[in-house]
């Protein structure tokens, strides 16, 4: 796909804004959910493990639901398109369930039921909103568009933090209402401006179906196609997503105890070690997207992941609070190259526009699985070697992901893809 008119960048920027708005609204609810639902559970439960289990329920649901719903939307054909009907049905329900959380917090069974309902519905349309991007944006411009979406998603951490600081103690119900309203407003804007039946990918899918007289493949068929392909690019890319997702999650999930054990910081001080690196990620995201579109996504991903490993190794060697913050900032800037470009490469490796929703769901499976396994793996290594080497273990896992991406690059040089990598 190539840009065919002077209006294409304007159309790309427009749809990017609408997708970023939808993702911003969704992630605002998720971030406040992650930060403020555990205290509600703690009023009823004394076990941290049980609280963690309930809070991890959304990740487990996502592994099963997101690929299925992404594939479901790939196979849907309506006058609104294949994505918008699910967003129109799902986002208001998710907003209502999120709004209910503080109202039912006094009764544990009701709280768990509403949590489950919210996690189920919100996971159902998460890959669908994100799949609007490759539906409208041509392959060569997807990195910069996805960078904008990632920046919008990252900013929701600040929104959740501000709500927690200024409202949660005095107006808990209002605190949950704000993200819920944001979600409904973003849906209204999206519904008024987007018909994905007009997207290039949707029209291409219809043309392909008319030629082949067959609908889009089911999830099982898509997975088997990836696994059986003699070109191992997609399998290796999924492996890199799993590995780097594990390294990223471990660098976040275990940094607070690291700061307390190794740097002698208080719990609050240790918890703030990653804040500057969050800003570094936001600053780096768009530039690395432009670099990826100029020099190649796989090449920039490899460089950025190596920078991530170098940053975490530097923090290990320096071993001071300032050094760790500096190392994490370097690492986050490098990580942005992967977080912005990996799903774009996966979209561009898809054999057809008919399955990009399924591929979005499969990306989530790899990333969430890494987030689930990575902290456990790195934590096990810490048990063997001690907390001072935490970030070095993170670097090692990241370098394994680098090797997988390097191999993908070698395979793609041997058999050049038709889409921008």
The per-residue pLDDT for range 374-396, each reduced to its tens digit, is 888 898 899 899 899 999 999 99
Q: What is the pLDDT of residues 180-203, one digit of tens each?
A: 998 999 999 988 888 888 888 888
Q: What is the pLDDT of residues 394-407, one digit of tens each?
A: 999 999 999 999 99
161 in any annotated domain: yes
Q: Exposure string (b/e) for 392-420, b if CB count within 10 Å is 16 or more?
A: bbbbbbbbbbbebbbbbbebbeeeeeebb
Tell me the average pLDDT of the chain.
Answer: 87
Output the pLDDT for position 214.
66
Between CA 80 and CA 205 the distance in angstroms is 15
419 in any annotated domain: no
Is pLDDT at 1 greater than 70 in this prediction?
A: no
44 in any annotated domain: yes
pTM of the model: 0.86
**Residue percentage of the chain with pLDDT more than 70:** 95
Q: Are residues 165 and 61 in the same domain?
A: yes
Q: Are residues 188 and 232 in the same domain?
A: no
Q: The domain spanning residue 125 has which CATH number?
A: 1.20.1250.20
Output the pLDDT for position 238.
95
Between CA 221 and CA 129 the distance in angstroms is 23
Ranked by mean pLDDT, which of 135-144, 260-269, 280-289, 349-358 comes out on top? 280-289
Q: Collapse the DSSP code of 170 into the 3-class scheme (helix H, G, I; strand E, B; otherwise coil) and give the result.
A: coil
Number of domains in the chain: 2
Between CA 175 and CA 164 the distance in angstroms is 8
Q: Are residues 385 and 309 in the same domain?
A: yes
Q: What is the pLDDT of residues 256-293, one digit of tens each?
A: 888 888 998 886 788 778 888 888 999 999 999 999 98
**Residue percentage of the chain with pLDDT more than 90:** 40
- pLDDT category, 4, cuts 50, 70, 90? very low
| Structural domain ending residue among the three candidates 168, 189, 212 | 212
2 in any annotated domain: no
Q: Are residues 166 and 239 in the same domain?
A: no
| Structural domain ending residue among the three candidates 155, 189, 212 | 212
Q: Are residues 63 and 136 in the same domain?
A: yes
1 in any annotated domain: no
Residue 140's contacts (CB-CB under 8 Å, 6 or more residues apart) are: 1, 2, 3, 293, 420
98 in any annotated domain: yes
Q: Are residues 130 and 240 in the same domain?
A: no
User: What's the DSSP call for residue 217?
Assistant: P
Q: Are residues 187 and 255 in the same domain?
A: no
For the residues 80-108, what does the mean pLDDT come to?
92
Q: Are residues 259 and 278 in the same domain?
A: yes
| Structural domain ending residue among the three candidates 160, 185, 212 | 212
Assign residue 194 a region (left: φ > 0; alpha: ψ between -120 and 50; beta: otherwise): beta
Q: Are residues 391 and 371 in the same domain?
A: yes
Residue 99's contacts (CB-CB under 8 Å, 6 or more residues apart) are: 176, 177, 180
Output the pLDDT for position 207.
84
8 A C-beta contact, residue 125 and residue 69? yes
Q: Are residues 168 and 317 in the same domain?
A: no
Is pLDDT at 9 greater than 70 in this prediction?
A: no
Output the pLDDT for position 2.
37
127 in any annotated domain: yes
Q: Are residues 328 and 226 in the same domain?
A: yes
Lowest-confidence region among 23-27, 43-47, 49-53: 49-53
Output the pLDDT for position 266.
84
Question: Can you give the residue range of the structural domain that contains 181?
Answer: 8-212
For the residues 201-229, what does the mean pLDDT come to?
82
Residue 192 CB: number of other CB atoms within 10 A? 8
CA dihedral 253, 395, 145, 205 (to 10 degrees): -90
Q: Are residues 187 and 208 in the same domain?
A: yes
Q: What is the pLDDT of residues 55-88, one digit of tens each?
A: 777 888 888 899 999 999 888 888 888 898 999 9
């Amino acid at each position: 796909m190539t840009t065919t008119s002077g209006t294409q960048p304007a159309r790309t920027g427009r749809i990017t804004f609408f997708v970023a708005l939808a993702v911003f609204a969704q992630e605002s609810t998720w971030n406040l959910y992650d930060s403020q639902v555990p205290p509600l559970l703690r009023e009823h439960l004394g076990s941290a493990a049980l609280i963690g289990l309930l809070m991890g329920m959304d990740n487990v649901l996502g592994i099963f639901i997101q690929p299925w719903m992404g594939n479901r939307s790939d196979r849907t054909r309506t006058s609104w398109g294949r994505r918008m009907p699910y967003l129109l049905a799902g986002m208001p329900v998710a907003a209502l369930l999120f709004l209910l959380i503080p109202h039912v917090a006094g009764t544990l069974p009701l709280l768990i039921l509403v949590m489950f309902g919210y996690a189920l519905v919100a996971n159902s349309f998460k890959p669908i909103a994100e799949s609007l991007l490759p539906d409208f944006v041509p392959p060569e411009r997807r990195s910069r568009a996805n960078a904008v979406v990632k920046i919008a998603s990252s900013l929701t951490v600040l929104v959740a933090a501000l709500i927690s600081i200024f409202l949660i103690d005095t107006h808990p119900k209002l605190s949950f209402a704000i993200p819920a309203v944001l979600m409904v407003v973003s849906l209204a804007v999206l519904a008024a401006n987007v018909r994905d039946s007009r997207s290039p990918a949707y029209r291409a899918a219809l043309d392909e179906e008319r030629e082949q007289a067959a609908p889009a493949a089911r999830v099982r068929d898509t997975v088997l196609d990836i696994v059986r392909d003699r070109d191992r690019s997609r399998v290796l890319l999924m492996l890199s997503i799993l590995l780097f997702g594990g390294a990223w999650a471990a660098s976040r999930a275990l940094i607070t105890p690291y700061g307390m054990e190794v740097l002698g910081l208080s719990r609050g001080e240790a918890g703030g070690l990653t804040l500057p690196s969050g800003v570094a990620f936001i600053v780096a995201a768009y530039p690395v997207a432009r670099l990826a579109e100029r020099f190649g996504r796989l090449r920039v991903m490899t460089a950025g992941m190596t920078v991530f490993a170098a940053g975490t190794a530097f923090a290990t060697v320096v071993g001071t609070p300032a050094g760790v913050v500096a190392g994490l900032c370097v690492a986050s800037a490098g990580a942005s190259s992967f977080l912005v470009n990996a799903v774009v490469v996966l979209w561009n490796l898809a054999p057809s526009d008919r399955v990009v929703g399924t591929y979005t769901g499969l990306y989530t499976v790899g990333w969430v699985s890494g987030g689930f396994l990575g902290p456990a793996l790195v934590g096990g290594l810490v048990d063997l070697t001690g907390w001072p080497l935490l970030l070095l273990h993170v670097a090692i896992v990241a370098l394994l992901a680098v090797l997988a991406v390097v191999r993908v690059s070698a395979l793609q040089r041997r058999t050049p893809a038709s889409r921008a990598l």
